[in-house]
């Protein structure tokens, strides 16, 4: 993990990233999977209006939430709807915008509306999320056979989400994505994967294209709700909805204080922590109790034999000593 990325969050962003009490719990949050540290994908049903006419051309947007924090998952959100409704329904009627511009309450209300069957958002729009757990992000970045960096993980999550929507039969024509690197390079990669789609990758796409804004809102609300679930294992009765680790960003004093105060000397933290982040690694190295583990290298001289090896060896010895059993086997004196 690049340390510079950990320090990107400014004070205003940190304040906006703190989960609020009573956030809407969307169907994209699976409590059991979140607590177990599992990464998973949620796909909404294809809207009834699109099922009635699958030839309807759609626009699709992708954005993420939680790229920089040391705590909690990174969530990729996807949002699609018919092209003619792109601006009128999202921007004019429901006022979707970059999730960082909207208040937590507004974001929560928008996703709640999206999940209500009687609303126009539910009837015309589809969405999906990919929740990438802190545990899996860490495991990928610390792989012994070569790091699977965060940009590569993000690219694969984006491709997988788009492909799953296409597999549902949705007639996607235009795709807009908030970049995770140089826009031109990212766009060329996606165009090679999806040659039939009109792909646009841009900086600040979440404030330029309403479908990307909606995707960012779905991702952010899903992450906030997942953080609530993760914190529930630590919450004290007197806290009453307060998340003591704050935003989860390393530059947030509440986050670093919580990490220091809740660090196990051997295991560190639970599935909520990205151990590959510099903040976590430094705390483990400097604040950990004398529980350093030195793992022995595997022996290559055959000393570490399996149980079957001992049994085979005993059989061989018995065969070699065949004369000793020619006239029968000895029995103990107790038999007589």
Q: What is the 3-state secondary structure (H, E, C) of the chain?
A: CCHHHHCCCCHHHHHHHCCCCCCCCCCCCCHHHHHHCCCEEEECCCCHHHHHCCCCCEEEEEEEECCCCCECCEEEEEEEEEHHHHHHHHHHHCCCCCCCCCCHHHHHHHHHHHCCCCCHHHHHCEEEEEEECHHHHHHHHCCCCCCCCHHHHHHHHHHHHHHHHHHCCCCEEEEEEECCCCHHHHHHHHHHHCCCCEEEEECCHHHHCHHHHHHHHHHHHHHHHHHHHHHCCCCCHHHCCCCCCCCCCCCCHHHHHHHHHCCECCCECCCCECCCCHHHHHHHHHHCCCCCCCCCCCCCCCCCCCHHHHHHHHHHHHHHCHHHHCCCCCCCHHHC
CB–CB of 70/255 below 8 Å? yes
Nearest-CA neighbor of 175 among 241, 86, 244?
Answer: 86
Q: For position 10, what pLDDT does the model report?
A: 45
**How many angstroms separate the CA atoms of 256 and 245, rounded?**
8
Q: For position 287, what pLDDT does the model report?
A: 72
**How many angstroms separate the CA atoms of 26 and 43, rounded?**
12
Q: For position 5, what pLDDT does the model report?
A: 44
CB–CB of 71/133 below 8 Å? no
User: Phi and psi dihedrals of 113, rounded to 5?
Assistant: -65, -40
Nearest-CA neighbor of 259 among 282, 242, 227?
Answer: 282
Q: Give pTM, 2 decimals.
A: 0.81
Nearest-CA neighbor of 160 among 14, 40, 12?
Answer: 40
Q: For position 298, what pLDDT does the model report?
A: 67
The answer to whether 64 is a known ligand-binding residue is yes
Q: For position 12, what pLDDT does the model report?
A: 47
CA distances from 252 to 9, 12, 314 (A): 9, 11, 63
The answer to whether 178 is a known ligand-binding residue is yes
Sequence-distant (6+) residues with CB within 8 A of 316 are: none
User: Phi and psi dihedrals of 290, rounded to 5?
Assistant: -70, 70
Q: For position 274, what pLDDT does the model report?
A: 96
Nearest-CA neighbor of 35 among 229, 325, 299, 202?
Answer: 229
The answer to whether 303 is a known ligand-binding residue is no
- Measured in whole angstroms, how far is the alpha carbon of residue 260 from the centre of its chain? 23
Q: For position 4, what pLDDT does the model report?
A: 41
Instruction: Extract the residue ranges of the chain whose pLDDT is less than 50.
Output: 1-12
Q: For position 321, what pLDDT does the model report?
A: 55
Q: For position 325, what pLDDT does the model report?
A: 59
Q: For position 44, what pLDDT does the model report?
A: 97
CB–CB of 71/134 below 8 Å? yes
What the chain holds in terms of domains, given with CATH numbers, is 19-232 (3.30.420.10)
**How many angstroms separate the CA atoms of 27 and 4, rounded?**
34
């Amino acid at each position: 993990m690049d340390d510079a990325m950990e320090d990107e969050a400014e004070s205003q962003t940190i304040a906006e990233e703190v989960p609020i009490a009573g956030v809407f719990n969307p169907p994209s949050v699976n409590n059991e999977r979140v607590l177990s540290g599992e990464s998973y994908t949620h796909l909404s049903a294809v809207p009834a209006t699109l099922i009635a006419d699958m030839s309807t051309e759609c626009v699709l947007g992708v954005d993420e939430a939680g790229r920089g924090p040391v705590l909690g998952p990174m969530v990729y959100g996807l949002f699609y709807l018919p092209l003619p409704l792109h601006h009128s329904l999202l921007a004019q009627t429901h006022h979707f915008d970059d999730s960082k511009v909207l208040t937590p309450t507004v974001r929560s209300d928008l996703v709640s509306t999206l999940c209500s069957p009687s609303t126009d958002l539910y009837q015309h729009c589809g969405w999906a999320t990919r929740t990438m757990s802190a545990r899996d992000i860490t495991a990928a970045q610390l792989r012994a056979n070569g790091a699977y960096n965060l940009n590569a993980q993000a690219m694969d999550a984006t491709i997988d989400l788009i492909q799953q929507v296409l597999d549902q039969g949705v007639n996607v024509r235009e795709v807009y994505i908030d970049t995770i690197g140089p826009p031109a390079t990212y766009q060329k990669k996606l165009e090679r994967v999806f040659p039939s789609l009109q792909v646009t990758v841009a900086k600040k796409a979440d404030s330029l294209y309403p479908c990307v804004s909606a995707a960012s809102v779905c991702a952010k609300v899903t992450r906030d709700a997942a953080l609530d679930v993760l914190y529930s294992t630590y919450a004290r009765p007197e806290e009453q909805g307060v998340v003591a680790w704050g935003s989860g960003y390393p530059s947030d004093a509440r986050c670093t204080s919580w990490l220091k105060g809740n660090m196990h000397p051997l295991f560190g933290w639970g599935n909520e922590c990205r151990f590959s982040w510099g903040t976590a690694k430094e705390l483990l190295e400097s604040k950990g109790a004398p529980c350093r583990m030195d793992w022995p290298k595997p022996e290559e001289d055959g000393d570490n034999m399996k149980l079957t090896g001992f049994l085979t060896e005993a059989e061989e010895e018995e065969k070699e000593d065949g004369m000793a059993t020619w006239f029968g086997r000895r029995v103990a004196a107790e038999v007589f």
